[in-house]
Amino acid sequence: MIKSLLLGAAAGAIVASSAMAAEITVVSWGGAYTKSQIEAYHKPWMAKTGNKVISEDYSGGLAEVKSQVEAGNVTWDLIDVELSDAIRGCDEGLLETIDPSILPAGADGTAAMDDFISGSITECAIPTIVWSTIFAYDTSKIADGPTTIGDFFDTSKFPGKRGMRKGPKSNLEMALAADGVAAADIYDVLGTPEGVDRAFAKLDTIKADTVWWEAGAQPPQLLADGEVAMTTAYNGRIFNAVAAEDKPFGIVWDSQVFDLDLWVIPKGAPNKEAAMDFVAFSTATEQLAAQASYISYGPARKSSSSLVGSYHTKPDLAMGPQMPTAPENFATAIQNDFEFWADNQDELNERFNAWLAQ
Amino acid sequence: MTDATTDTNGMALAADGTPLKKRLGQALFRSKMRALGLATPLLLLIFFCFLVPIIIFLIRGVHNDTFEVHMPAVSVELAQWDTTSEPTEAMYAALAADLVLAKETKTIGKVASRVNRELSGTRSLFTKSARKAKKLEAPYKDALIGVSKKWADIEVWKALKVSAKSWTPAYLASAVDLKYNADGSFERKSEERRIHLQLFVRTLEISVIVTVMGLLLGYPVAFLLSTLPARTSNLLLILVLLPFWTSLLVRTTAWIAMLQSQGVLNDLFVIFGLATDEDRFSLIYNKTGTLIAMTHILLPFMILPLYSVMKTIPPTYVRAAKSMGATDWTAFWRVYFPQSIPGIGAGGILVFILAISFYITPALVGGEDGTMISNFIDFHMRKSLNWSLAAAMGGVLLTIVLFLYYIYDKVVGIDNMKLG
């Protein structure tokens, strides 16, 4: 009796909640980046649909998704992930497939499939931004600053500590670029044992001077505290420190390693329908362009580029030249090869960890 | 005894005529049951929320059936394969069928991840081949090799053979830097990939140093606390407990502010001319940082057991020893110290066992040479998603702790430990 009452109450609650506005949990990387999403996506979507968005932070990776899906207790509806995780999660059956036909055409009428950066729409993921790993320095401390990736590895020309992400990804690419490998050949070289040795040998030259960071918010802090003279960082974080906090940081775009961030929906997400609607809404031309006025990550739609304006509090700070995809920044850019990393990350992580511990 | 009589055999009887012995037994049984009943929630909690998950997780360290479950046909074929002869057409045909199945059930990624851990670069081989598997036709050997030449490589098949074994020592072997081969043999991993043994040794080293430092710092404090008059000692005790009540995270970050190269301590060194502004000491993000922060954080766990044991040592013994002509040192070493050993044992084992699995502090202040094995267990749990390896490493750590506990019990004796 009690059981059936409870069931009835639960069923009633479900009916009631579906009749009311949906409430979706959107998970992203925190800090200035999440703030840009709240301003450009969450608020307009909430105003339009009357639904509610709960914003949560995480530090990347599929661990939480995997445990939620495998335990059958999914609490997240939408997650902002890197391309390699989107592919991997899709392969492992952790993510819902997203039908690209829900995506609206671009503002200029281009069909969605042609409007997004080619090949970036995958079975389970819809891209939002192009972001990049660059290196930055404090212009008030180094007057005649570094200009090439080689300078980052040259501690005799530019003395001082270096900051790098604690992991092989993008560090090995930058090391090879600094060692003279052309951007187009990086992954061919890295695919050979000699190439890996070569990259580690280059990293060896600055190992003793390196401070390792893990969260994206750390590198601007390391620079501001004077803990490092130069550090690799996500370009949006450095931009935010410059634009919002007036920090005297300079970005060196040479051999930037760029990648995509995408929306994915974990398998069995409690509010799948609303999440799909949010994906379609937030990846429309206007929303992607709007986000770019809060942080310097490039919109994934080509049609958004012409709409990108200036920084939201500084009308004279044009966002276009701050983007990783701006032509003057893009000459030596390296595209992160998700397939290479999907294949080799276990081995290279192991090697990197062993190298660190030596 | 008003309500008891005796029966014909002289046995004591209760008021209702049953033998008193039986009644007593019943009463005792009831009270035991009541006690057990009260303890049941706790026992169930420990069993289901502590023992069962640990056991399940430890099993993960030796059991991973991803491949066998999702690639059933080829697993059967692989079990019969001798690892040296050329893979047969039957094996290729089974593989092709399984690839189609895995693609349909969207499990190919799981299988690919599993095999990729054995042989790097096979992940895309699986996902690519699975995409084309439906169109493949006999003979499958040529068809698959047509998709990718790698299928002709016997190393790939050896990796499959290792993956196909559900009960496997591969993860335990990997946790101690060994590689488990397809033919059942073990070999050491190549030098640039060895890491875990070194980390286990470092974890033990850090734990021992932290315990010894804790003892050296904590013993005098505990002694002072136990000998001072109550009012002063209570005040001091609060000073010991205050950090104990503060969040672990707050204490660790406080050390970052103290020790970093632009931090308080280094600023003082520069002011007093012990270091130059350009060449400050690296006190944090290395082993030194881990040792300092951990010693501080674990100090209360050393002081409190020591204090409670020292409190029970009567001061008269030391006075008696001195009145009989012992020097201060002899009186301390021969009379006082032996009585404080149970406290040292308790504090030492408490600090050591907490230290050996310490995780947040080394993660925040450890840099590279100050990280411990638990940080790598965390890495494989959260980043590489290699839960089986994490479980195996946890199993090895648990075995080490249990072994050390056994040694401790043999040498010092666990009965000789007092928490108060």
In which residue are the tokens 């055409």 written? A105
What tokens does B330 get?
């002899």
> Is the pLDDT confidence value at A269 over 80?
yes
Residue A11 lies in a domain: no
Contact residues for B56 (Cβ-Cβ < 8 A; gap 6+): none
User: Rounded to whole angstroms, what are the CA distances from B142 to A26, B129, B147, B150?
Assistant: 47, 13, 9, 12
User: SS3 for A179?
Assistant: coil
- The pLDDT value recorded for residue B403 is 92
Share of chain B above pLDDT 90, in %: 54
Same domain, B51 and B89: no
**CB distance B199–A357 less than 8 Å?**
yes
Contact criterion met (CB < 8 Å) for B385 and A62:
yes
Asked if B349 contacts B417 with a C-beta cutoff of 8 angstroms, the reply is yes
Closest-CA distance, A141 to chain B, in angstroms, reads 13
- Per-residue confidence at B6, pLDDT binned at 50, 70, 90? low
- Mean per-residue pLDDT for A243-266? 93
Answer yes or no: do A142 and A205 share one domain.
yes
CA B206 to chain centre: 14
Interchain contact, A91 vs B381, CB within 8 Å? no
Q: Which residues of B touch A193 (CB under 8 A)?
A: none
| Averaged confidence pLDDT in chain A | 88
Residue after which a domain boundary falls, among B31, B60, B89: B60
> Which residue is associated with the tokens 């204090």?
B307
B252: nearest Cα among B188, B196, B295: B295
pLDDT at B1: 45
Within a domain: A9: no
Tokens 């098949």 appear where?
B157
B211/B130 same-domain check: no
A147 and A220 assigned to the same domain: yes
Distance of alpha carbon A328 from alpha carbon A258, whole angstroms: 15
Residues of A with CB under 8 A from a CB of B: 61-63, 66, 88-93, 200, 211-212, 225-227, 339, 342-347, 349-351, 353-357
Residues A96 and A177 both lie in one domain: no
How many angstroms separate the CA atoms of B419 and B356, rounded? 20
| In a shared domain, residues B210 and B248 | yes
Residues B381 and B341 in one domain: yes
**Whether residue B317 is found in the same domain as residue B410:** yes
Residues A24 and A124 in one domain: yes
B231 and B374 fall within a common domain: yes
Residues with Cβ < 8 Å from B341, sequence gap 6 or more? B416
> Is the same domain home to A282 and A183?
no
Residues B365 and B262 in one domain: yes
Q: How far apart are CA B243 and CA B250, in angstroms?
A: 10
Contact yes or no for A91 and B194 at CB 8 A: no
Least confident of A3-17, B21-35, B336-350: A3-17
**Model confidence, pTM:** 0.81
Q: Does B57 touch chain A (CB under 8 A)?
A: no
Whether residue A159 is found in the same domain as residue A126: no
Q: Answer yes or no: do A251 and A281 share one domain.
A: no
Q: Which two tokens stand for residue B390?
A: 């994490």
CB contact under 8 A, B383 and A349: yes
B349 shares a domain with B270: yes
Query: Can you say whether the dihedral through the CA atoms of A143, A149, A150, A154 is positive or negative?
Result: positive
Co-location of A158 and A252 in the same domain:
yes
Residue ending a domain, among B151, B169, B191, is: B191
* Confidence category of residue A284, pLDDT binned at 50, 70, 90: very high
pLDDT of A232 strictly over 60 = yes
More confident residue, B375 or A117: B375
Kindly tell me the sign of the dihedral angle through the C-alpha atoms of B232, B233, B239, B242: negative
What pLDDT sits at residue A15? 43
Any A CB within 8 A of B195 CB? yes
**Final residue of a structural domain among B40, B60, B80:** B60
Helix H or strand E encompassing B44? helix B20-46
Residue B332 sits in a domain whose CATH number is 1.10.3720.10
CB neighbourhood size of A188 (10 A)? 12
Best residue of B383, B386, B389, B393 to probe chain A, by most A CBs closer than 10 Å: B383
Least confidently predicted of B224-228, B274-278, B378-382: B274-278
Q: Is residue A1 part of a domain?
A: no
Say which of A226, A345, A354 has its CB closest to residue B262: A226
| Residue A24 domain flag | yes
Domain residue limits at A188? 131-259+329-357
B chain contacts of residue A226, beta-carbon cutoff 8 Å = 262
pLDDT category of residue A17 using cuts at 50, 70 and 90: very low
pLDDT at residue A144 is higher than 90: no
Among candidates B117, B194, B367 on the partner chain, residue whose Cβ is nearest the Cβ of A346: B117
Whether residues A223 and A336 share a domain: the answer is yes
Percent residues over pLDDT 70 in chain B: 96
Which of A58, A64, A68, A92 to probe the B interface (max B CBs under 10 A)? A92
User: Under an 8 A CB cutoff, do B193 and A62 touch?
Assistant: no
Instruction: Look up the domain containing B84 and give its range.
Output: 66-191
Residues A213 and A334 placed together within one structural domain of the fold: yes
Q: Chain A residues with CB inside 8 Å of B109's CB?
A: 88-93
Regarding predicted confidence, which is higher, A298 or B3?
A: A298
Residue in A91, A339, A343 closest to B120 by CB: A343
More confident residue, B278 or B166: B166
Residues B187 and B256 in one domain: no
Residue A2 lies in a domain: no
Interval A164-212: pLDDT, tens: 998 999 999 999 999 999 999 999 999 999 999 999 999 999 998 898 8
> ipTM exceeding 0.90?
no
In terms of C-beta distances under 8 Å and separation of at least 24 residues, what long-range contacts does B96-101 make, across chains too?
Answer: B96/B133, B96/B136, B96/B140, B96/B143, B96/B144, B97/B73, B98/B70, B98/B71, B98/B72, B98/B73, B98/B74, B99/B126, B99/B129, B99/B130, B99/B133, B100/B130, B100/B133, B100/B134, B101/B70, B101/B71, B101/B72
B163 and B200 fall within a common domain: no
Give A145-169 pLDDT, tens digit per residue. Answer: 899 999 999 999 999 889 999 899 9
Centroid of chain to Cα A290: 17
pLDDT at A12 over 50: no
Asked whether residue A242 is domain-assigned, the answer is: yes
Long-range CB contacts for residues A323-328, cutoff 8 Å, separation at least 24: A323/A130, A323/A292, A323/A296, A323/A297, A323/A298, A324/A130, A324/A131, A324/A132, A324/A134, A324/A235, A324/A253, A324/A256, A324/A258, A324/A296, A324/A297, A324/A298, A325/A130, A325/A258, A325/A298, A328/A253
pLDDT at B330 (0 to 100):
93
Residue A199 within any structural domain of the chain: yes
Number of domains in chain A: 2
Q: Note the pLDDT of residue B191.
A: 83
Q: Does B415 touch chain A (CB under 8 A)?
A: no
Same-domain status, B180 and B326 = no
- Read off the CATH number of the domain in which A309 is found: 3.40.190.10
Task: Specify whether the CB–CB gap between A211 and A228 falls below 8 A.
Answer: yes
* pLDDT of amino acid B5: 61
Does residue A12 fall inside a structural domain? Answer: no
Q: Are residues B268 and B399 in the same domain?
A: yes
Structure-token pair, residue A66: 């995997």
Q: How far apart are CA A123 and CA A177, in angstroms?
A: 32
Mean pLDDT to the nearest integer, A253-270: 94
Mark whether A213 and A342 lie in a shared domain. yes
Q: Are residues A182 and A212 in the same domain?
A: yes
Residue ranges in chain A assigned as alpha helix (H): 2-19, 31-37, 43-49, 63-71, 83-91, 112-115, 149-152, 171-178, 186-190, 193-207, 218-224, 235-245, 272-282, 285-291, 327-330, 338-357
Question: How many domains are contained in chain B?
Answer: 3
